[in-house]
């Protein structure tokens, strides 16, 4: 298998270093990364993620370092996200139960999905869900994203998520079984102490949902169940958890460590880290 990773990004903005940090580590290790968005539209870095004067309200400090600003602006200048893969063209949409010919359409959906999933897992070694606030809109409750995650999960292949890119893992479930694929697992993600009261940052400044529409910590804690564990690690600079096949990271501060351990999973078979 060629050393390729599929990165899924939001069309409503990604947090710059949460892509660029891991990408740097992956490419240094010889991996090629292809990018995909919901409708094949360009993904753009959220402005605060390359603004060194931006003060994160919950943390009360500037979170974008000069290093991150330079790396993100350099990546954006390369225009590598101009023509991402179009998820809507590659993964079938599950039909409504009210469809006139539901059963036949449902059977076709599964047949087409099997081919699409086989193609993805034969071409890529892993899927990487990039964070930022944008995923809340077009990744977290996106059936096609869930089906991509399940393709790799069912083949016991690495599944990676950082910040709000972790959220889809809680909702990616077999349509018939409907059990959380992270049940019994150890994961991390945006903790409640990092949640803001207002000003959810999306690419389009007129779109303000106020606070996040859900508390990711609660979602993940419930999804892993009593057999698993959510690790917020609040107060610690980073939180990166590997519980194979999942690698999850809390937020932007984890980007480089996340990338290092992601490569460690892919190249060296790392199964456990951070707990």
Query: Average pLDDT, stretch 253-275?
Result: 98
Query: Average pLDDT, stretch 50-57?
Result: 90
CB 44 within 8 A of CB 73: no
- pLDDT over 60 (residue 56): yes
Q: What domains are there in the chain, each with its CATH number?
A: 4-273 (3.40.50.880)
**Is residue 213 very low, low, confident or very high in pLDDT (cuts 50, 70, 90)?**
confident
What does the pLDDT read at residue 204?
Answer: 59
Q: What are phi and psi of 188, to 5 degrees?
A: -130, 175
Query: Average pLDDT, stretch 226-239?
Result: 96
Which of 2-16, 46-60, 112-126 shows the lowest mean pLDDT across its residues? 46-60
pLDDT in tens, 133-192: 899 999 999 999 999 999 999 999 999 999 999 999 999 999 999 999 999 999 999 999
**What are the DSSP calls for 199-219, one per residue?**
----SSTT---SS-SS-HHHH
What does the pLDDT read at residue 112?
Answer: 98
Residue showing tokens 């087409």: 112
pLDDT in tens, 1-32: 679 999 999 999 999 999 999 999 999 999 99
- Return the exposure string of 71-107: e unless at least 16 CB atoms fall within 10 Å of the residue's CB, then b: bbeebeeeeebeebeebeeebbebbeeeeeeeeeebe
Under DSSP, the state recorded for 228 is S
Find all residues with CB under 8 Å of 255, minimum gap 6, and list them.
17, 18, 20, 21, 22, 68, 162, 249
Report the share of the chain in percent with pLDDT over 90: 88
Four-residue CA torsion sign, 151, 185, 230, 17: negative
Query: Average pLDDT, stretch 96-116?
Result: 96
What does the pLDDT read at residue 140?
Answer: 97
What does the pLDDT read at residue 2?
Answer: 77
Mean pLDDT over the full length of the chain: 94
């Amino acid at each position: 298998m060629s050393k390729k990773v599929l990165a899924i990004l939001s069309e409503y903005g990604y947090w710059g270093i949460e892509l660029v940090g891991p990408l740097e580590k992956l490419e240094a290790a010889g991996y090629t990364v292809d990018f995909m968005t919901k409708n094949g539209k360009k993904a753009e870095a959220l402005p605060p993620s390359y603004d060194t004067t931006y003060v994160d309200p919950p943390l009360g400090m500037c979170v974008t370092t000069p290093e991150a600003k330079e790396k993100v602006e350099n990546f954006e200048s390369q225009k590598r996200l101009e023509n991402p893969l179009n998820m809507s063209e590659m993964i079938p949409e599950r039909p409504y139960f009210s469809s006139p010919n539901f059963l036949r359409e449902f059977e076709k959906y599964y047949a087409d999905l099997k081919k699409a999933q086989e193609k993805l897992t034969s071409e890529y070694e892993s899927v990487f869900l990039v964070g930022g606030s944008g995923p809340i809109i077009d990744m977290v409750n996106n059936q096609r994203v869930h089906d991509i995650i399940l393709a790799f999960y069912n083949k016991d292949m690495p599944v990676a998520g950082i910040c709000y890119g972790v959220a889809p893992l809680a909702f990616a479930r077999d349509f018939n079984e409907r059990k959380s694929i992270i049940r019994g697992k150890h994961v991390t993600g945006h903790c409640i102490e990092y949640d803001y009261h207002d000003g959810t940052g999306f690419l389009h400044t007129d779109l303000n949902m106020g606070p996040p529409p859900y508390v990711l910590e609660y979602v993940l804690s419930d999804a892993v169940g009593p057999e698993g564990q959510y690790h917020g690690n609040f107060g610690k600079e980073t939180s990166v958890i590997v519980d194979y096949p999942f690698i999850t990271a809390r937020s932007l501060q984890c980007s480089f460590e996340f990338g290092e351990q992601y490569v460690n999973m892919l190249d060296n078979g790392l199964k456990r880290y951070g707990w």
